[in-house]
Structure 1
Amino acid sequence: MYFSVAGIEVQPWIPPLTAFCVSFFTSMGGVSGAFLLLPFQMNILGYVNPSVSATNHVFNITAIPAGVYRYIREGRMVWPLTWVVVIGTLPGVFIGSLLRVVYLPDPRNFKFFVGLVLLYIGGRMILDLLRKPAPGQDKKSAEKRFQETVKAWRSRAESTGEKLPAVRVTRFSTTRIAYEFYGEAFEISTPGILSLSLVVGVIGGTYGIGGGAIIAPFFVSVFGLPVYTVAGAALMGTCVTSLAGVTFFQVIAPWFPNQSVAPDWILGLLFGLGGMAGMYLGARCQKFVPARYIKWMLGAVIFWMALKYVVGFFL
């Protein structure tokens, strides 16, 4: 099948199958998988036009709602965190989209920058996992209690129809966001999340990854939030910013007649359909997978991609 905007020919079953496999695993950590699909499009399919970023956004807005719906249904969306991420990211995604077309039609230099950022995040996550807890700090975490609750719930859910408890927000202001998760309280800075989201928006808008691959690890490794409660917020933020990004790319396309700027909608939708199924199943299975495994998976993938970008810059 020939995709005229992308200028490539590929079997129509390959994009959805690839997106399904990627999204099933990455969605458990609050990442859509777009940061892996972009290299796949560029390196495997040969889609190197600037419009590949916009096409990646199409994948996000098609695939992510299924995963977000599952998190909402299970009461694991921290809505204040979600809206702060959206508000902070939106201005950045417009700036980033413009930078992509005007200053970075060749993404080589920006890949190097993203590689350094992801190298730090992935490295930090892996170091946190390898670090042994200090004496007296080996008590059960909220995530361990969550796993125990899930096991107990599974044993009686069929007969009682019992649902897992939802996240409870205790504070939401211009300075702090606080919520409780299985008896453990978490509190973060609202301005800190806004600042991080703005930077993530610029990166995501430029590269077409939405930003989930960057912001989700920051929530876990820097802010110390449990992955079970931030995955939904990260995915929702990615979806909204990707919607803004693809709209912006489509609007500015007429001003750049010598470049392929507008997305390849058919290719993006094919990726999105596979990603939709993968994200829904990934979000559904997340609560049955130990958080440590999710963190290892996310950290390893990000670290590998970072090394690929950094090393590739010098080759």
Structure 2
Amino acid sequence: MSWSTPLLGFAAGALISTATTPVGVSGAVFLLPVQLSVLAVPSPAVTPTNLLFNVVAGPGALLRYRRHGTLAGPLTRLLLAGTLPGVVAGAAIRVFAVPGPRAFRLIVAALLLPLGVWLCLRALRPARRARQVGNRDWPSSFGGPAGPSPRAVTGLALLVGVIGGIYGIGGGSILGPILVGLGMSVARVAPAALASTFVTSIAGALTYWLLALAVPGSVAPTWTVGLACGLGGLLGGYAGARLQPHLPERGLRLLLGALASALAVFYLHQATA
């Protein structure tokens, strides 16, 4: 590994996190192709390396959101209740059932492409009123007049946690687009999704570390790359969280949908090339 690799990782982590943190995405979801194609991180080591990035980068955005008083709340607890066990199961699936990069990219593209297109379409439609329930805003168009039940949110978080453990993003970065697409405000979803990503990434990274003791191959994270990207993400995440209150809600939704769709197309191209 040359001396320029950590510098490239730091710059990539900072730029990506600044752009994605305002919409509740840690940046790991878009950092993964950089690690695979530019920083030459092998598969499946790229997944725990991405989780390491989340662990190092997460406190920057969370500190800023905590100052705004938007971090704690029932939505955060519901997401953690599902994504935390899910990410552990996803890590095991990633190591034993989905080791090949081609299958990995196809799975990610199949998930993100319809999600990104759906989010863009929802952002372009007239805004629907959301009903405020306690410390969260549930969309009145989903799950009846009172919105989705806590059990439904936790069940969704569990499923997404498994996918996040396979992908190396902790789960919150997928839940963020889904909840925003259902009509919840970005300002409410972003802190909860990032908190879920941070906590579940710690659990996922520890799971991969334990699996590396028993499974041959590149299962452990590439520490230099993960730490360098994470330090860049630490600064970028703080900057992105500071920018969020000054950005329009519809613009944030379009940005999130466009980023997800672009990444899906990129992975489809790589998987079929």
Deviations 1:73-122 (A, max 9, x none): 10122521111111101121111101111112213213212212211111
**Secondary structure in structure 1 of the residue aligned to 2:170:** coil
Distance 2:73 2:185 in 1: 15
Query: Quick one: which of 78, 86, 96 aligns to 1:92?
Result: 86
Instruction: Give 1:192 deviation, angstroms.
Output: 1.4
Is 1:45 aligned with 2:39? yes
Is 1:261 aligned with 2:219? yes
Distance 2:255 2:99 in 1: 31
Greater Cα offset, 195-204 or 228-237? 195-204
Alignment of 1:165-314 (within 5 A): 170=134, 187-222=147-182, 224-256=183-215, 258-314=216-272
Paired residues of 1:78 and 1:230 also in contact (CA < 8 A): no
Distance 1:178 1:216 in 2: 14
Instruction: Give 1:64 deviation, angstroms.
Output: 0.8
Query: Quick one: which of 110, 113, 133 aligns to 1:116?
Result: 110
Distance 1:74 1:19 in 2: 24
Instruction: Give 1:272 deviation, angstroms.
Output: 0.7
Distance 1:255 1:12 in 2: 28
Distance 1:132 1:229 in 2: 19
Give the TM-score of the pair, scaled to structure 2: 0.90
Deviations 1:164-190 (A, max 9, x none): xxxx9627xxxxx768xxxxx984321
Give the TM-score of the pair, scaled to structure 1: 0.79
Distance 1:53 1:193 in 2: 25
Quick one: which amino acid aligns to residue 203 of structure 2?
Answer: A
Q: How many residues align?
A: 267
Alignment of 1:16-165 (within 5 A): 16-132=10-126
Paired residues of 1:178 and 1:186 also in contact (CA < 8 A): no
Mind listing any 5+ residue stretches in structure 1 that lack a counterpart?
Answer: 3-7, 143-167, 172-176, 180-184
Quick one: which amino acid aligns to residue 199 of structure 2?
Answer: V
Normalized per residue, the structure richer in helix is 2
RMSD: 2.3
Deviations 1:205-229 (A, max 9, x none): 111122233110111112x110011
Mind listing any 5+ residue stretches in structure 2 that lack a counterpart?
Answer: 139-144
Quick one: which amino acid aligns to residue 273 of structure 1?
Answer: L
**Secondary structure in structure 1 of the residue aligned to 2:163:** helix
Distance 1:125 1:169 in 2: 23
Deviations 1:120-149 (A, max 9, x none): 11111111122346xxx7xxx68xxxxxxx
**Secondary structure in structure 2 of the residue aligned to 1:13:** helix
Paired residues of 2:5 and 2:225 also in contact (CA < 8 A): no
Match of 1:174 in 2: none
**Secondary structure in structure 2 of the residue aligned to 1:225:** coil
